Structure 1
Amino acid sequence: MSGQGMMMFDRAAVAAHRTRAAARRGAVAPVLEDLAVRVLDRLDDTGRHFTRALEIGGRGVVAPLLAARGIEVISTDLAPAMAAVAGGPAIVADEEFLPFGAARFDLIVAHLSLHWVNDLPGALIQLRRALTPEGLFIASLPLLGTLGNLRAALIEAEAALTGGAAPRVSPFPELSDCAGLLQRAGFALPVAEREIVEFEYANPMALLCDLRDAGETNATIARSRTIPPREMVPMALASMMSGGRLLVALHLGILTGWGS
């Protein structure tokens, strides 16, 4: 989530993870749809009817929700297999190099996709240009605090076993940075809100399966390529259990801005 020239994420790995997840997304589709509904509720607050939308990275749940509102939708995804599950017209496109002209859409929705972009300011500028002057941009992304206990537990377990630790959970932005990014990209009336969504697991390994099935496994360039000690993940997950349950939180940032 950096400026141009600072490469934090391996985009080939992001695409590979989303390709793998395309065949498995049904396992987490109810969660993805619930999160998408929370984001798209913002449309009701505008009192506007939108006609032509671009949705980015919606994993097959966003496009049907928009179409049900009578909106014409074009979907994009970095991975061809994930673009194919959109349920309507879709193209393969990179958020950092969007193939759209100016003022093409009166609604753009980027749901849980922009947090894997290296040049987020540049991507936001492209998205604003693709928006009509009265159009609305809505994005959602994980904020700092998301999976915080998992990040800490993995670092502690790896350090105990090996004496060092590699980054195993992606870095996330702070809410305070998000509205500023929208404003610098030229959006009018930028708003950034936080919703905290908690998940509870009886089987702690199910958390890692859900992250994999959603295409959300680690794609940082600095990630370790070596196989971690066999005891590391079980040790980390065991330390997170309380009363036979594992609790994790998604700090969901919901960003809105208008064309200008």
Structure 2
Amino acid sequence: MSSGLCLRVLRGSGSAPAASSGSWSRFLSRSGARRGLSGSNSGTMNVFNREMKKRQKNWAGSLQDGQQYDYLRDEVGSRVADRVYDIARTFPLALDLGGGKGHIAEHLSQEVVERLFLTDGSEETLQRRKSEIPTRCVLADEEFLPFKENTFDLVVSSLSLHWINDLPGALKQIHQVLKPDGVFIGAMVGGETLYELRCSLQLAETEREGGFSPHVSPYTAVTDLGNLLGRAGFTMLTVDIDEVQVHYPGIIEVMTDLQGMGESNCAWNRRSLLHRDTILAAAAIYKEMYGSEDGSVPATFEILYMIGWKPHESQAKPAKRGSATASFGDLSKISQPTNSNKS
């Protein structure tokens, strides 16, 4: 079941070491070498340019007024935090995967998470973190986790996994670094996100240039997410979807905010140049097809939420097949009152 949120933009234009506030670790060398658990394999599709995504996030993190672009990350981060609070336990050590500025951590208290490791591939973003929990920042690629197995009681992630090339491998690594009976709670962009922008650009390019190329990243379908979590080894799965709709003055503001979020397309097959005539045509199509009465245009983000547990003997297990003591046919007899009850 999905719920909706409407935001309106008003601008016109083993054990781990003890975490301590302000501490840093670096797991990416300048040459690009990576260390840690690897869930990748030679058959993985290389869809995204991860180096370009890191540059985009570094640029966005360096903006002096970058907080004005954090509205979506803050909203989704608060919803992930709500799901953490729904679990009635305290987590001694947690990992925020691709946490950036700490959009989840700022909504958590030390009563729920005692210590936190915050990872991201962008150093500029990590330097602007927001957290009252004792936090250790780790500069690391989400595709190569530099942690030992069975380390964390909780792993959270918000709006980062949709840029990973090997999502099945990343989920397996998350499963590995969790302790038994540990839980993973994540959120990622998926489904038909930004379909308004995608359709407008495709129609405009087809009209002006005789064909179109992808300008919006491909996204994971919600129907695939449960299978991916199950294949990674998670149990007691929960997958749901939220729809967040943000209203902008026009298409230029949509694209400007995506750039300010560090969410510009980084697929290898993207087209780096958009002609001015194409942009103007796309803006007109956007307003004509999706515009509101007040002149604004919507951008829809489908947010996929997932919860999965690492198996443990203490967890409830489904009954064995054939162990039932009653059939569905008996239920109708049980539910219907007898003649004596009627009298």
Same fold (TM over 0.5): yes
**8 A contact 2:69–2:261 mirrored in 1:** yes
Q: Which residue, out of 151, 159, 162, partners 2:206?
A: 159
Q: Which residue, out of 60, 83, 88, partners 1:47?
A: 88
* CA-CA distance at 1:116 after TM superposition: 0.6
Cα distance change on mapping 1:228 and 1:13 into 2, 3 Å: same
What do residues 86-114 of structure 1 show as CA deviations (whole Å, max 9, x unaligned)?
A: 24421111111110001111111111001
Q: Work out which of the two has the higher radius of gyration on C-alpha atoms and give 1 or 2.
A: 2
Q: Structure 1: which 5+ residue stretches go unaligned?
A: none
- Distance in 2 between residues matched to 1:132 and 1:218, nearest whole Å: 35
Match of 1:83 in 2: 126
* CA-CA distance at 1:70 after TM superposition: 4.7
Instruction: Report how many residues are paired.
Output: 258
| 1:64 and 2:115 are equivalent in the alignment | no
Match of 1:257 in 2: 308
* CA-CA distance at 1:258 after TM superposition: 0.7
Q: Which residue, out of 74, 80, 97, partners 2:117?
A: 74
Alignment of 1:14-163 (within 5 A): 14-24=53-63, 25-60=66-101, 61-67=103-109, 69-71=111-113, 72-87=115-130, 88-163=135-210
**8 A contact 2:171–2:232 mirrored in 1:** yes
Cα distance change on mapping 1:199 and 1:69 into 2, 3 Å: farther
After TM superposition, the score normalised by the length of structure 1 is 0.94
**8 A contact 1:73–1:89 mirrored in 2:** yes
* CA-CA distance at 1:140 after TM superposition: 0.8
Paired AA for residue 240 in structure 1: Y
Higher helix fraction: Structure 1 or Structure 2? 1
SS in 2 for 1:256: strand
Paired AA for residue 246 in structure 1: V
Q: Structure 2: which 5+ residue stretches go unaligned?
A: 1-39, 312-343
* CA-CA distance at 1:79 after TM superposition: 1.6
**Percent of counterpart pairs with the same letter?**
33
**8 A contact 1:57–1:110 mirrored in 2:** yes
Paired AA for residue 159 in structure 1: T
**8 A contact 2:205–2:211 mirrored in 1:** yes
SS in 1 for 2:76: helix
SS in 1 for 2:86: helix
- Distance in 2 between residues matched to 1:189 and 1:228, nearest whole Å: 45
Paired AA for residue 20 in structure 1: W
* CA-CA distance at 1:146 after TM superposition: 0.5
Paired AA for residue 18 in structure 1: K
